[in-house]
Structure 1
């Protein structure tokens, strides 16, 4: 039966990515003239259907707007300012910067005539923040949070067989968190097409139980009937293994569902000898749900899931697949050097892989729902997840957000816990907080009873929220006593949701507060906090605690504690904002991982400190280590369990060598040595072949080598990048938390409206003296004052644009919108366009620079007037914008302590080679080729 339905299956469901080909421009939070006059019409979009005006109107001229692809974060493109938000990394957006706090996006999509009769929705994975969406001028809704995905049905608003306009206004003036959050449509956008009877969005929930090597799969499916009549159908479900083999099927037949109703149905399937999902073998199955009418498939929905068992115990911690499992986690925000919050999917995988290399097996989404692609990476690479809610509360808004989170993410085997909140200082120690947490916890359990519910708690334990949670999250245990909490609430499970924290700057080994540098030796950040080593030693000795999540895995923009301006990023990470490891990574590799580790810090370039003692640390998981300076032993030491070794070594240029021993046998040798001056650059990509899909990326590490080929750990040369071929650079970084260099290099676009536009009626359009710059127009009326006067045969309009010296040296582009039935255009008396017929899409006119000069330039338009066909017609009175543009400058970035990063993306146009060249003054250049394939 299933094979037959598969054979009959047509294109019943489409899930189309519409990230490409958007237009973007800045609006304004309170100056409507700068906000494209949105919301100023006699009838607003809230008063009458289809009355989206200004940039929300379908016929709005967005040709002068910047072209871009999504995801997009305009905050990462912004300059820095000391007046900007500490939390958001001093990026010049927010309340003090209204000119850069509202963003508009527009895109045209074509809908085929054959799509009529389908249900069509537009879905946004995340927009930061406070977004308003229109389609063809119809207001769809507002989503205040920057982290919630949302979807709108646009079926009845569409022009089938023609173009349709999506418009989005984004207001990033207000922050939700206290960390960098970006701005704009920073996650994917999708167009979904289904038949009226279909599986709802995120409409499956798969839970599994394991007994005697047989997995019972409970597959709940939510079906919508969005049609206008009752419908009868069959639900068929099949489970596929990773080889594409069907391992279980089940059918529910002759179901009736009324029009405009939604209903849940559940099938139970059995899988013998299942492959279990784990962090080491992240095996996943695929559930295919097919809806059939008269034996013909009308919808098909795929769900990835994993089979695994999870359990928390109040006395012995966490169990995965029946075995005790130590949580070795990190907290992370969604942000990366060069791209901000607009992280390409491949970069999500790169970041999770970096954490796994460190020995980490768990990820806390701090402090908001993640992008779905992050969870896909965790599923496929093997990383456990705390999926975190953004805002506590018990009203419909809060519950709806929590429900959407669980429905969206509930099939990810990586997710082991739902977090309902984090450090809710206003309520966490009160009875109010306890009531809210109790209600939220019960609500979550009503939706998903298979996972534990947690909340992160930072102080005042034994009361409020901490007294009611089934799984308490301890933040910074040095402030309180988990042992006392465990004794008071012996039924309560626990883990460290934020623990182990340190301030460090990658590659820095002497603290210099004037430069905002913190030495990379694992020091506790304050007296009432634990270092990484102290935190891990505390948790590993207490089996009732399931493990800990370090603050943080990656550095992130904003919250540059313990400093302020000009620091713009955090110092907490085990890896910097680029993912380059700090030295603490090797401590964790030693005690979290299962591979031999031997690591020396610091580097050995200390010119000017000859004879001065240098702190030398060694991270290793061998039994003992012997240290040598220029082949002279500095002693052999036993390594304490979960600890490290230290020496004081007077500096002398040369080689510092460590030898690791286990049971007296030499196992590994590691060395750092003094390097020479920078001689050449080198580049290494995390992969050298990427998909030619316009989305895939290569993350490239750039470093400096001396004449012997040794990496130079303190190089800070400025590197310039050039790219040729079928790709583009989308971001640069270097991990320096004090760097104010740009992450992106963009073309400059300046749109100039024609100012002081005036009008004069004339008898004809031929040889008009009024187009000459010296003509006296002081008595002319303001343009379009007599628009309704149909007796006038022709009009001359005059206005000015003001150019700087630089602007006047470049040709300009006039995005002209017809204001006449036929028109000719003059600039400073020179004819630049003759006898243009009016048409809906306007004209693009190049104004040669030889017609221009610095200061005021006169623009004249001679027209035959437009006429209304109906009294209610609105004639165009905006001739458009004149644009000055400058190509993007060369991409560049300084090395920071020897390293920088450039992210290269395929352009989606064709397969071929991308060649990246890196140059720096006085050094041999480096060239790297990345291949793109279909």
Structure 2
């Protein structure tokens, strides 16, 4: 990552110059700036001034999304794009002192994301504005700081998304990502200025190439030692090299060094092995700056005839698109929410993520590195042309800001091994059948190549027949031709132009779309729309787009069950039936009709990758069916009976997978489960508490909709509740929720202290549910 240069206490035990430890403690610090902010929802005057009194403002920590705290309202100006949640102005202020002994150092403030149109002041001095709410950015506080014992400084931030509709999907509002205070010496590594590449990466040997940008903001030239070490996953230093470098006053030097690593553990989808580069600037024996950058040793390439290759192994990218919201938590997403979601996607067989349609939080890419996902890193949903339901969005700023926003994303993200390709646009409505359209794309592609020469660039083309991009020469300018939907058009385009590299950038869940990837060697991959249901892009009373494999609360949907049978390497068997009699309604995964009296003809499908599947009802075989060559589901017409339906999957005659459902009676009690036994004490740690309504025999009741009340005791708090229902207008920041399809969830986060936490859920007429988790120090 190059998300940010990190001070890591104790790293010298693994590194080279242990004698410099006392000096290093002051050489480079990255301190969390998340805590102890004051917040005002609404606009005011003079709040940027030091003398302004914010005593009456709300105290909180960031990340913070104030929009998700609001109520759904059909008349909210965000409308269908923003999910009918509030928009407006939010102010944040924070007072702090500069640590003694750092007066001669630089103090930089990094925001990982502020939504949107942010203005930042330090002690009343305006530092800058950033319209794009997804960009990470840094300001130098140094010239305007009050230093000395007890002297107070004030940072003020105004975020404004009043002008609506500003997006086709939910954005959130406020300082919704982490903030960092970075302290460095006048001679230091430039922010996001170190590039780690692996031009040679085989099982036998690897070359780790490290190019560092060293800034001298002082008034004297100096001679320095630039030291680079590679550490393995256990923290052991494998090799260290160094070079002498003169850095002139007011200048930047960019030395490059190579380190050879024998028998490296390569990074790939199945084994996401990570190393670290530790770089140091030494003046004599004194360490004056240090940074630690995780990276992976791997090669990645796209081939016109055979698709995507990772470490010379041919993979199909089985991807999903993800928006940046986390459902009930809005845009301020704790990392454990993403861990939960990515773990579910891994179960389906997903190995790729498209960041739709904007830069993501830097820690999200860290997680992709760690879990083994390849990533299409995307910049924009719009260029200059407006889109419906987002007419007053980034299209108003793109011409002035695309270079800065593209630059900052690429330099921040280019050390992530998970990132294998960039996308510079999604379904762009600018005229691509014109010299101006050609230039807009080419300028962006050229800038990305300049900043990162190791990865290719694409964009998600929209209706190529209308835009003429397949016939006017536009596609020939693209590194990789990406298209949304209409897979047959992309297949035909490649077969007419076999030298084109091609990828599906956005795809539906249906069978023939999967076959376009499975059966065409040149199709590098596809990204399903979407991995999870997301807030916005829905017509009232719906508030959520429901095209995901999973709903907001993490419940499996029919298309996830089917996709697992196509994408998983493990034996899979899933039973679904039509919810209503004689094939009407939607596909559901249960054996409990809403009305037993009128349900007698059950249309049943089984999704499976097994050679043979046999279906049983109450122990009686309904027949066995072989695996269709085209991966289609296996169908049965079943006369419904209460009881148990069971599917048995076999490979070469051996039973390898089963699934069964039993008809449920009336709800009798609540079962609470936690997805983890403990909660760490940090902002990114969250535990999911799932409430399942079951009958007297413990059978889940998939049609139950009882109203649940959660309570909690101990050093933790319920931060949100949800049920995945796309037409529910209940608030998320609450302790009660109506069950949907027999379930609801509460998200729990640690508060002050440590120890046992007891969560309970009650509903009228039901036995309460209880679960215990532990908060760790």
Q: TM-score, normalised by structure 2?
A: 0.90
Q: Give 1:431 shift.
A: 3.7
Provide the rounded CA distance (Å) in 2 between the counterparts of 1:596 and 1:469: 39
Q: Is the 8 A contact 2:516 2:523 kept in 1?
A: no
Provide the rounded CA distance (Å) in 2 between the counterparts of 1:343 and 1:689: 19
1:3-82 residue pairs with structure 2 within 5 A? 3-4=17-18, 6-7=20-21, 9-11=23-25, 12-27=27-42, 35-36=43-44, 38=45, 54-82=46-74
- SS of residue in 2 equivalent to 1:618: strand
Partner of 2:134: 147
Provide the rounded CA distance (Å) in 2 between the counterparts of 1:17 and 1:419: 31
In the alignment, structure 1 residue 157 sits paired with structure 2 residue 144: yes
Q: Is the 8 A contact 2:276 2:292 kept in 1?
A: yes
Provide the rounded CA distance (Å) in 1 between the counterparts of 2:714 and 2:471: 62
Partner of 1:107: 94
Provide the rounded CA distance (Å) in 2 between the counterparts of 1:205 and 1:490: 34
Provide the rounded CA distance (Å) in 2 between the counterparts of 1:134 and 1:487: 56
Q: Give 1:297 shift.
A: 0.4
Partner of 1:91: 84
1:433-448 residue pairs with structure 2 within 5 A? 433-448=437-452
Partner of 1:528: none
Q: Give 1:609 shift.
A: 4.6
Provide the rounded CA distance (Å) in 2 between the counterparts of 1:153 and 1:668: 59
Q: Give 1:611 shift.
A: 4.8
Partner of 1:573: 548
2:217 to 211, 219, 226: 226
Provide the rounded CA distance (Å) in 2 between the counterparts of 1:430 and 1:707: 68
Partner of 1:527: none
Q: Which has the larger radius of gyration?
A: 1
Provide the rounded CA distance (Å) in 2 between the counterparts of 1:599 and 1:223: 56
- SS of residue in 1 equivalent to 2:337: helix
Partner of 1:536: 514
Partner of 2:505: 497
Equivalent residues, number = 724
1:312-323 residue pairs with structure 2 within 5 A? 312-323=302-313
Q: Deviations over 1:60-115 (max 9, x none)?
A: 22122112211111111111111233433543424xxxxxx011111112222322
Tell me: CA distance 1:611–1:4, structure 2 relative to 1, closer, same or farther (3 Å): closer
Runs of 5+ in structure 1 lacking a partner?
28-34, 39-53, 95-100, 502-530, 746-890
Partner of 2:345: 355
Partner of 2:776: 933
Q: Is the 8 A contact 1:420 1:455 kept in 2?
A: yes
Provide the rounded CA distance (Å) in 1 between the counterparts of 2:453 and 2:424: 15
Task: Please say which of residues 609-618 and 703-712 is displaced more in the overlay.
Answer: 609-618
Instruction: Tell me: higher relative CO, structure 1 or 2? Use CA pairs within 8 A at least 6 residues apart.
Output: 2
1:345-384 residue pairs with structure 2 within 5 A? 345-384=335-374
In the alignment, structure 1 residue 300 sits paired with structure 2 residue 290: yes
Provide the rounded CA distance (Å) in 1 between the counterparts of 2:661 and 2:35: 47
Provide the rounded CA distance (Å) in 2 between the counterparts of 1:481 and 1:303: 42
Q: Is the 8 A contact 1:429 1:463 kept in 2?
A: no
Provide the rounded CA distance (Å) in 2 between the counterparts of 1:628 and 1:636: 9
- SS of residue in 1 equivalent to 2:632: coil
Provide the rounded CA distance (Å) in 2 between the counterparts of 1:264 and 1:396: 28
1:256-271 residue pairs with structure 2 within 5 A? 256-271=246-261
Q: Is the 8 A contact 2:201 2:266 kept in 1?
A: no
Q: Give 1:262 shift.
A: 2.1
Partner of 2:120: 133
- SS of residue in 2 equivalent to 1:449: coil
In the alignment, structure 1 residue 689 sits paired with structure 2 residue 678: yes
1:133-282 residue pairs with structure 2 within 5 A? 133-160=120-147, 161=149, 162-174=151-163, 176-210=166-200, 213-253=204-244, 255-282=245-272
Q: Give 1:260 shift.
A: 2.4
In the alignment, structure 1 residue 589 sits paired with structure 2 residue 564: yes
- SS of residue in 2 equivalent to 1:496: strand
In the alignment, structure 1 residue 895 sits paired with structure 2 residue 739: yes
Q: TM-score, normalised by structure 1?
A: 0.75
- SS of residue in 2 equivalent to 1:643: coil
Task: Please say which of residues 541-550 and 912-921 is displaced more in the overlay.
Answer: 912-921
Tell me: CA distance 1:281–1:724, structure 2 relative to 1, closer, same or farther (3 Å): same
1:617 to 605, 609, 615: 605
- SS of residue in 2 equivalent to 1:363: strand
Partner of 1:796: none
Q: Is the 8 A contact 2:80 2:540 kept in 1?
A: no
Provide the rounded CA distance (Å) in 1 between the counterparts of 2:612 and 2:229: 55
Provide the rounded CA distance (Å) in 2 between the counterparts of 1:599 and 1:497: 28
Partner of 2:626: 638
Provide the rounded CA distance (Å) in 1 between the counterparts of 2:372 and 2:38: 37
Q: Is the 8 A contact 1:72 1:187 kept in 2?
A: yes
Provide the rounded CA distance (Å) in 2 between the counterparts of 1:640 and 1:165: 67
Task: Let me know the Cα RMSD of the aligned residues.
Answer: 1.8
Provide the rounded CA distance (Å) in 1 between the counterparts of 2:643 and 2:264: 57
Q: Is the 8 A contact 2:281 2:288 kept in 1?
A: yes
Q: Give 1:726 shift.
A: 1.2
Q: Is the 8 A contact 1:540 1:547 kept in 2?
A: no
Q: Is the 8 A contact 2:83 2:169 kept in 1?
A: no
Provide the rounded CA distance (Å) in 2 between the counterparts of 1:231 and 1:432: 46
Provide the rounded CA distance (Å) in 1 between the counterparts of 2:746 and 2:20: 45
Q: Is the 8 A contact 1:421 1:456 kept in 2?
A: yes
Q: Deviations over 1:814-848 (max 9, x none)?
A: xxxxxxxxxxxxxxxxxxxxxxxxxxxxxxxxxxx
Q: Give 1:719 shift.
A: 0.9
Tell me: CA distance 1:343–1:399, structure 2 relative to 1, closer, same or farther (3 Å): same
Q: Give 1:396 shift.
A: 6.5
Provide the rounded CA distance (Å) in 2 between the counterparts of 1:898 and 1:336: 21
Q: Deviations over 1:272-318 (max 9, x none)?
A: 11110011111111000010112210111111100011110001100
Provide the rounded CA distance (Å) in 1 between the counterparts of 2:373 and 2:303: 20
Q: Is the 8 A contact 2:326 2:338 kept in 1?
A: no
1:431-830 residue pairs with structure 2 within 5 A? 431-460=435-464, 461-463=469-471, 465-477=474-486, 481-501=489-509, 531=510, 533-560=511-538, 564-601=539-576, 602=588, 603-606=590-593, 607-641=595-629, 642-745=631-734
Runs of 5+ in structure 2 lacking a partner?
1-14, 385-397, 577-587
Provide the rounded CA distance (Å) in 1 between the counterparts of 2:673 and 2:219: 58
Q: Give 1:894 shift.
A: 1.1
Q: Deviations over 1:580-618 (max 9, x none)?
A: 111222222222111111111131111245453222111
Q: Give 1:680 shift.
A: 1.3
Q: Give 1:709 shift.
A: 1.1
Provide the rounded CA distance (Å) in 1 between the counterparts of 2:663 and 2:240: 65
Task: Please say which of residues 296-305 and 485-494 is displaced more in the overlay.
Answer: 485-494
Tell me: CA distance 1:341–1:694, structure 2 relative to 1, closer, same or farther (3 Å): closer
Provide the rounded CA distance (Å) in 1 between the counterparts of 2:657 and 2:276: 44
Q: Give 1:475 shift.
A: 0.7
Provide the rounded CA distance (Å) in 2 between the counterparts of 1:67 and 1:586: 44
Q: Give 1:694 shift.
A: 4.4
Task: Please say which of residues 325-334 and 5-14 is displaced more in the overlay.
Answer: 5-14
Provide the rounded CA distance (Å) in 1 between the counterparts of 2:171 and 2:383: 19
Q: Is the 8 A contact 1:467 1:489 kept in 2?
A: no
Q: Is the 8 A contact 2:483 2:506 kept in 1?
A: yes
Q: Deviations over 1:91-147 (max 9, x none)?
A: 3424xxxxxx01111111222232200100111000110001111111111111101
Provide the rounded CA distance (Å) in 1 between the counterparts of 2:749 and 2:526: 35
Q: Is the 8 A contact 1:611 1:652 kept in 2?
A: no
Partner of 1:854: none
Provide the rounded CA distance (Å) in 2 between the counterparts of 1:185 and 1:931: 29
- SS of residue in 1 equivalent to 2:336: helix
Q: Is the 8 A contact 1:610 1:650 kept in 2?
A: no
Partner of 1:834: none
Provide the rounded CA distance (Å) in 1 between the counterparts of 2:557 and 2:82: 21
Q: Deviations over 1:224-257 (max 9, x none)?
A: 112232222111010000111111211011x222
Provide the rounded CA distance (Å) in 1 between the counterparts of 2:512 and 2:414: 34
Provide the rounded CA distance (Å) in 2 between the counterparts of 1:336 and 1:295: 47
Provide the rounded CA distance (Å) in 2 between the counterparts of 1:590 and 1:722: 38
Provide the rounded CA distance (Å) in 2 between the counterparts of 1:705 and 1:675: 8
Q: Give 1:630 shift.
A: 2.4
